[in-house]
Amino acid sequence: MAGEEISSFKEFQKIGHSAFILGYTGKVGKALTKELAKAKLFKKVFLIGRRQVQLDGDIGEEFEQIVVDFEKIEDYADIFKDIDVGFCCLGTTTKNGTESFVRVDHDYVIKSAELAKSGGCKHFNFISTKWADRNGTLLYIKTKGQVEEALKVMHFNRLSVFRPGGILGHRDDSRLTETVATFFLKPVTFLFPTAITIPVEMFAKAMIKNTVTPADHPVEILENKDIHAISGSLTMCHTDQKQAAD
């Protein structure tokens, strides 16, 4: 990892930031939690979800699980007070019906973001999707596009919108469509690794590296190739940080 990047990590750590992760039990949320535990980037990380789960043994004491009812998320406004950085990994599929999908991927996200903004969140990270478009014909990309637009007008100090392609990695709750898609995407992934897929661990590392890197604009849209590029040298930072401090 380059010296400038190590310096960014160390400076970020010194400030003593706090963070929350919405949807930490999903594929991306789990990977992000693990990478944050390795990086020791935040003094406190609140894991906000609908249920409590058994965390891996290497998840430190700075991580705290908080169970909420997203249908009544307004009742939990105090949870979001004075948290600097938010990571939104909330998401579901349409297999449970259109109404359920929109409620989770649209309503829950927007209401949580509003509370975070009111509570003082300065940097909000949102996982959208490739080809997100509020005027799209497909429900998934249309919903993600609508959320993007809603987040923009909340005027966070910094809004990072990630538009990954297919996210490759293990999921505890098997989803047939993802399994089939992953199988057919393997040849494309091999030939064009940055085109339409990204490994979940790489995605999580990119989110972390992006957090400690100053942004040129208050709103940044990061496409799949951008996410690959950002993650580039982060793989060494966990060991390099200790060496740099010695």
Residue with tokens 């829950």: 108
Task: Based on the residue annotation, tell me whether 144 is a catalytic residue of this protein.
Answer: yes
- Nearest-angstrom CA–CA distance, 188 and 185: 5
Q: What's the rounded Cα separation, in Å, for the pair 201 and 86? A: 19
Which residues touch 208 (CB under 8 Å, ≥6 apart)? 32, 35, 36, 39, 41, 234
* Catalytic site includes residue 140: yes
CA atoms of 214 and 210, how far apart (whole Å): 8
* Among 122, 140, 142, 152, the one annotated catalytic: 140
CA atoms 139, 145, 149, 155: torsion sign = positive
Q: Which residue out of 27, 30, 117, 144 is catalytically annotated?
A: 144
Binning the chain into helix, strand and coil, the percentages to the nearest 5 are 50, 15, 30
For residues 24 and 87, what is the distance between their CA atoms, to the nearest angstrom?
9
Active site residues: 140, 144
